[in-house]
Amino acid sequence: MTIAPENQPSPQTTPELPATIRERLKAQTTATASTGQPVRSEAATAPANSRFQEFRARVRRAGATLVPMAGQMARRLRLRPQVRPTDAVSPDQSPQRVTPAKNHVAGRALAAARATSVRIGSTLDAIVTRMPSNRTAPRTRNTVQTFDATPPDLKEARPSLFAAGMLLTAVVTAGLIHLGTTFAIPLLGAGSAYATLKPALPANRMVAFPVQAPGRQILPFASPDTLYAICRFDIAASPVVVRALLPGIGWSLTLYTPAGDNFYAMPGTVNGPTDVAFMVVPPTDRMLNMMPGARREEMKLNQVVAPTREGLAVVRAPIKSAAMLDETRRELSASSCKTSELAAPVR
C-alpha cells in the first residue's frame, strides 16, 4: 500500500499510530512480500473479504491525512510559523516567526489535532475489525488470496448475538431488578392501606365507618358483612390508650404497622364479651410502670410495644343480620382510642 506524495504526512506532523495498527500494516507488507506475487490494487479484488480490507485501508488513510489538513488549517489561521519543511532556510534568511505565545497555542492545537486523528483512525479500525465478515462469499479466479492481518484471537472472539457473557449479565441484572422491586414496594408503601386511610383519619381518635357498599368502601375487598372502627395512632408524643368491647365470635381488635404487619390481635370468643384495654407504647417507654410519683389508672393497663411510631388500630364487628345492625353499631361505639393521660402535667 503506497501513499500519494501529496498526502504524505510531513515529518513534523507524522501521527503516532497505535501499536495494533502498526503491526497489522507490517504483517500485511510482509505477507505480500513473501508470496512473491504481484499485488493488485485492492479495488481489483472481488471477494467480500478484499472489499473489507479495502475499506479498512481507506479508514487508515483518512486518519493519516487528518493531521496535515489540520496543519494547513492552522497555517491559514496564522496559528503556526509560516515556514514549510521543504523551504530552504539560509543563514541570512530568518523565517518569520510568530511570538512565543502564539507558538505555544499553535503547538497545543497541533498536538490536539494529532491525538484526535489517531483516536478517530484507531476507533474506526476497531469498529470495522469487529464487523461480521462475509465468509461465504465465493472467490473469483485470478485473484490474489488476500492475507487477513486480523489477529487469530480477535477473529475467534467476534461476538455473536447470543454471547454467553451478555446473557449472563442480563440474567444477573434481571435478578437485581427483581429483588429491588420486591423490597422497594413495602418500603415505599405507596398504595398501602395505611396510606389510603391516613387522610381520612385524625391522629389518636377512633372513627367508625358505615356499612361497606358499592362506591363507599374504605379499602378494596373490604367485607360488606363487617363494621369497621379504625384509629390512626401516633405515639411519638405520648402513649395511646385503646379500649374495645368484643361481644362474641367474629369480633376482633388488631394493631398494624404502616406496612400492614399485624403485631397485635385479640379475637372475640364464644364464651362471652371480652373487654380489652391496653396502652400502646414505643419500645423505649417500656418502663413507664416503674416511674415514681402519683400512680394513675392507666399505669395498670397492659402495655403493647409498637414497632413503629404510627399505625392503625382496627376493630371489626360482624353484621349478623340487618335487624342487629343498630345494636352492633352501639357496641362498636364503645371502642375508643386516645392519648394517655400520662402526657398531662402532674398537679
Closest distance of CB 126 from another protein, Å: 12
Which one of 10, 33, 119, 261 is in contact with another protein (CB under 8 A)? Answer: 261
Closest distance of CB 309 from another protein, Å: 16
CA-nearest of 212, 248, 219 to 327 is 248
Which one of 7, 8, 140, 321 is in contact with another protein (CB under 8 A)? Answer: 321
Burial class (CB in 10 A: 0-12, 13-18, 19+), 120: middle
Give bridge partners of residue 246 from the DSSP assignment: 274
Footprint on residues 113-142 left by another protein (CB under 8 A):
127-128, 130-132
**Residue 278 found at the interface with another protein (CB under 8 A):** no
**Residue 259 found at the interface with another protein (CB under 8 A):** yes
191: left (phi over 0), alpha (psi -120 to 50) or beta: left
Select 4 or 221, whichever has its Cβ closest to another protein: 221
Fill in the DSSP letter of residue 225.
Answer: T
Q: How far is CA 30 from the centre of its chain?
A: 50
Closest distance of CB 225 from another protein, Å: 4
Closest distance of CB 244 from another protein, Å: 15
Give bridge partners of residue 206 from the DSSP assignment: 231
Which one of 43, 161, 236, 290 is in contact with another protein (CB under 8 A)? Answer: 161
CA-nearest of 296, 276, 287, 288 to 337 is 276
Which residues in this chain contact another protein in the complex, by CB under 8 A? 52, 55, 127-128, 130-132, 159, 161-162, 166-167, 169-171, 173-178, 181-183, 185-186, 189, 191-193, 196, 212-215, 217, 219-221, 223-226, 249-250, 252, 254, 256, 259-263, 265, 267, 270, 307, 312, 314, 316, 318-321
